[in-house]
Amino acid sequence: MQRTIQILLLTRDPGLEAELAAFAAEMSDEARLVVHVEEDDRRAVSRAMERRVDLLIVELDQDVAPLARIAAELRQADHPPIIAAAYRPLSLDGDDAMSTRFVELLRSGVKDFLSRPLSIVDLRALVERELPEHTPSRQAVGRVVSFVGSKGGVGKSTLAVNTAVGLAREGSVLIIDASLQHGVAADLLGLSAPSSIADAAREVDRLDARLISNLTAQHASGVSVLAAPANAIDAAAVDEGIMSRVIAVARRAYDFVVVDTFPLLDSVTLAILDMSDLSFVVLNDSAPTVNGTAELLTVLDRVGLDRTRCRVVLNKTHSGRGVGVSPSDVATRLDRPLDHIVPFSGAVLAAANTGKPPTAGMGRLGRWGRALANIARAASSGAVVSRAVITEESDSEGLLEPAVLAETENEA
């Protein structure tokens, strides 16, 4: 499967971006290169600290001090990027001190120096050397899992909340309600949240793990909830930078961070996806939603969301036989397999009205509970534990229970 490499350019020269674009085209059969450009040092550092960046290329002039500071700061990132400096040899001719400065930059964490115009051979060697396909995590941080969808009403928030409750059996869990315009995570857990992510936005300059903990509401299951803003005015204060900062701090304090999103692919949602170890794309079995999800998945491919970090969840919201689009037709329309299929459950709808999540107090709820357990295991490990096998028999009752690969758990 083709991998995605996130590259950040720190430059004011559009020519450098063009040179890298030529390399991206050359590498298109081997990897997808997603290139972002920043002109300001602070914005570049902020992006690399708060969002996934695999390779940072910085335009270098005779003043190497800014690059040394950047390299020192980024050593504190959860996933420090590989840093390379791009320079024009002619601009540095006659400066005998540059060799000494290059050594200083190497000691500060710069991995390579690329002469301009950029050589495709040199860039390929850098990527193959510093970014092997299976790069281990550089620091132990909590796992970030997001739930997204193309429209509301598909059960996305219900699945996010119940997955969070399921994960609470394995470690500490924070659910961030990033459905900024109409978040319901606290309601689904029967909680009254006095604070919200908007309060975190107001205190972003001093945001740390303790402050986030003070802003959360606690559920009996052990799940902490950072609620959505109370109104649209407060929600406007939460931009992609705020969201990235909140997630970056939260993942250092919790074993799992579950993020529910608003059904709109804006800059905030893209920031969440960028920081997620795994994203669940949720849809129901109505034709308009299936079509909208097909478009959403196409866009996610274009923005560089690696398919290895994405799972598709069909949430059955119809109880009757023959109602809704069949799972096999959904998979055909999406042009990709369904990783999880969640059967309809009236008890789950009732639980949403009482604020008592089924996974907290209603056992496994038969087929629904087993489907949620599979999603929680995938969220915990990243493995595809329940890639659905669609058969005629599985659809015969209208209440689908998918055959599951690698199902090892004894039935209760």
**Model pLDDT, residue 388:** 59
Q: ∠399-402-408 over CA atoms, to 5°?
A: 135
Q: Is 94 helix (H, G, I), strand (E, B) or coil?
A: coil
Beta strands in 219-270 (DSSP E): 223-226, 256-261
Instruction: Please give the domain boundaries of the chain with CATH numbers for all domains.
Output: 3-130 (3.40.50.2300), 143-404 (3.40.50.300)
**Model pLDDT, residue 273:** 92
Biggest CA-to-CA distance, the chain: 80
How do strand 110-115 and strand 256-261 relate by DSSP bridges? unpaired
Radius of gyration for the chain, computed over Cα atoms and rounded to the nearest angstrom = 23
**Model pLDDT, residue 390:** 58
**Model pLDDT, residue 140:** 60
Q: Is 272 helix (H, G, I), strand (E, B) or coil?
A: helix
The DSSP-derived string for 339-382 is SEEE---HHHHHHHHHT--HHHHSTTTHHHHHHHHHHHHHHHH-
Judge if pTM exceeds 0.75: no
Beta strands in 141-221 (DSSP E): 143-148, 173-178, 217-218
**Model pLDDT, residue 320:** 63
**Model pLDDT, residue 342:** 92
Q: Which helix (H) or strand (E) holds 328?
A: helix 327-334
**Model pLDDT, residue 1:** 52
The DSSP code for 236 is T
Structure tokens belonging to residue 378? 């995938």
State the Cα–Cα distance between residues 89 and 72, nearest whole angstrom.
25
**Model pLDDT, residue 397:** 35
Which regions of the chain are under pLDDT 50?
Answer: 136-138, 361-363, 386, 391-412
**Model pLDDT, residue 405:** 28
